[in-house]
Amino acid sequence: MKKILIALLCAAMAMVFVACGEDNKQTPTSATQAATQKPTTWNPTQKPTTPSQGATLVPTPTYAQTPSQASPDNGSQSALETARMYLNDGTYSYQTLVQALQNAGFSYDDAVYAADNCGADWENEAWNAASENAGYYISTYNEMVEFLQGMGFTYEQAIYGASKVYPDSHSEDDGGDVMAAANDYVSRFAISRSDLVSRLMNDGYSYDEAEDAASNCGADWYSEAVEAGAQELIYDTYSHDGLVSRLMNLGFTNAQAEYGATQNGV
């Protein structure tokens, strides 16, 4: 009996040893595989892999290859071409050209741009207009000047155009040549510029004609103030400020009146 128990104990121990041996064989195998597996390393030449499904992709921006056909200058350029066509076919002042372009459907800004950049010689346009209309119902220089101004030409442009058509009849009126009338007043009176303009207008000349004559008659208004001051002192006694005030009432500027009073010793 004792021998049987010892035999059973030895058999059990043998089975335990066999089981332990099997476990020891599996563990080194796993360790060996782990030891021999190469780690993952970063390769700078490796191309990136395609993102996995669900990852966010940043789109590459795209740009138009051809510019837009719309341009803010298209209207102005079209107006400019139309203005040149109008000027080639007819006679226009700056003002009437702008109006004609607006009537054709262009905006005011485009019409002004065209008139500013069309290269027109407005004085020559005034001359053309005067030549086209002389001899019909316009027979004098003054009438032509007024007619051209009515067409939108400036006073200077109208004077130029009228003088080309009526070179020997400048500013004719019942009172004669406006420049001759201005020179006559200056030679006979101590007169201010504003008084001269007023007298010429009373003679029937227009404001523009009177202004032009006063600007070009060659008068020295400071000398006129001295002469006027001397004449005033013949008839009355003035203080400096009193004479200055009187000369200004006659139409002289403050500077001219001050000069006139000082030169007369007041």
Asked if residue 174 is part of any domain, the answer here is no
Asked if residue 195 is part of any domain, the answer here is no
Long-range contacts of 171-175 (CB under 8 A, 24+ apart): 171/141, 171/142, 171/145, 171/205, 171/209, 171/213, 172/140, 172/141, 172/142, 173/142, 173/203, 173/204, 173/205, 174/204, 175/203, 175/204, 175/205
Asked if residue 227 is part of any domain, the answer here is yes
Q: What is the pLDDT along the chain (266 residues), one digit of tens a residue?
A: 555 556 566 665 666 555 555 544 444 444 444 444 444 444 444 444 444 444 333 333 333 333 333 344 788 999 999 999 999 999 999 999 999 999 999 999 999 999 999 999 999 999 999 888 887 667 677 788 888 988 999 878 888 888 888 775 554 444 448 898 898 889 888 999 999 988 888 778 888 899 999 999 999 999 999 999 999 998 889 999 999 999 999 999 999 999 999 999 98
Asked if residue 32 is part of any domain, the answer here is no
Asked if residue 229 is part of any domain, the answer here is yes
Asked if residue 35 is part of any domain, the answer here is no
Asked if residue 258 is part of any domain, the answer here is yes
Structural domain containing residue 240 = 221-263
Q: How many domains does the chain have?
A: 1
